[in-house]
Amino acid sequence: MGLDWGVDVNGVLPDSALRRLIAEGAITAAAPITPDQIQPASLDLRLGATAWRLRASFLAGRGRSVAERLADFEMHRMDLSGGAVLEKGCVYLVPLQERLALPQGVEAVANAKSSTGRLDLLTRLVTDDGTEFDRLPPGYDGPLYAEICPRSFSVLVRPGMRLNQLRLRRGQAMLDDPALAALHGAQPLVDGEPLIDGGLGFSVDLRPASGDLVGYRARPHSGVIDLDRIGGYLARDFWDELRTDEGRLILDPGAFYILVSRESVTIPPDHAAEMSPYLAMVGEFRVHYAGFFDPGFGYGTGGAGARGVLEVRCHEAPFALEHGQVVGRLVYERMAAPPDRLYGAGIASNYQGQGLKLAKQFRG
């Protein structure tokens, strides 16, 4: 389509390339895309004005559209324009305002935004012809939908809210373990000796340097959260504090936890990263939501890096989680070009230099 890339190598597309894709019409929207939707290496996606309550989650499947499959699963339609509550334990489908017509060779991957994951709000991208969530093949041309399933809290949503984000890449971008080790040697990615095995491993911190607060557990019967109310809710009304001086937590089946990594990590300006769950064999739990780490995460903190917040759900049996146990990994990817702006540098980056921290809707 004659796109002026501004980059000539493979990798994750930076903000400058995203702006060019918008200008060329590869990314369009029902309402104009605003500058603050464009992050250093991703694009925030906005909810549309309608939601469907579903009786089950679904994928369109090869050769079929979401719209034609909707009749098999919809229960009722909801108007979001005045605000509507998505109830805990229910599944919803919301058309997004953005639409893609990607050039050949450009693929996309989606993920929940940080605050979405910290609210235990399962949000996945669904597309026409889709056989998996959150993955779009090179050259995808079609609408986008968000499947939303509140797991711990009911939430109030409106059109334009941003629950997930899109990252575009061209060609092979992921660093293998030797390349990751070389990058760490040139510029430390983590404090201390790195565990490199299919990415940069990280472990859980259950022996904090000060105090005995190690995390939070979602309370099972809480009120509705309006996602626009930043700092609008007392944490104690929605979360139980977890304290221990033993370096161990017993995870309850089905419970949702906010914990923090022991390691502080850095994402250099010419790289991006994605959090991936560790192998299921290591325990009866999962670091529940993967997430994007933009170029510059932990970079502007005087070399101290920033710790990763862990969103953990226990499975069928109680599980003893120990201090220093490996629970996840960061997969690093090359940028096709450095972004114009880094995470935390002149943009609204809520979690730069973070430690143990709840979603931005909570205070106290």
Is the Cβ–Cβ distance between 204 and 224 less than 8 Å? no
Render pLDDT for 126-157 as a digit per residue (tens, 0 to 9): 999 999 999 999 999 999 999 999 999 999 99
Furthest-apart CA atoms within the chain: distance in Å: 61
Low-confidence ranges of the chain (pLDDT < 50): 1-5, 281, 351-353
Distance in angstroms (rounded) separating the CA atoms of residues 297 and 43: 16
CA atoms within 13 A on the CB side of 136: 31
Is the Cβ–Cβ distance between 13 and 272 less than 8 Å? no
- What does the CA dihedral 117, 120, 121, 124 come to, rounded to 10 degrees? 60
Is the Cβ–Cβ distance between 161 and 228 less than 8 Å? yes
Q: What angle do CA 175, 180, 181 make, to 5 degrees?
A: 155
> Can you give the pLDDT at residue 202?
87
Name the residue among 191, 172, 212, 221 with its Cα closest to residue 332: 172
Q: Structure pTM? A: 0.92
Sign of CA dihedral 123, 129, 132, 137: negative
> Can you give the pLDDT at residue 3?
45
Is the Cβ–Cβ distance between 111 and 292 less than 8 Å? yes
Which domains, ranges and CATH numbers included, belong to the chain? 11-170 (2.70.40.10), 177-334 (2.70.40.10)
Distance in angstroms (rounded) separating the CA atoms of residues 107 and 168: 6
> Can you give the pLDDT at residue 211?
87
Render pLDDT for 156-208 as a digit per residue (tens, 0 to 9): 999 999 999 999 999 999 999 999 999 999 999 998 889 999 899 989 999 99
Overall size of the chain counted in residues: 364
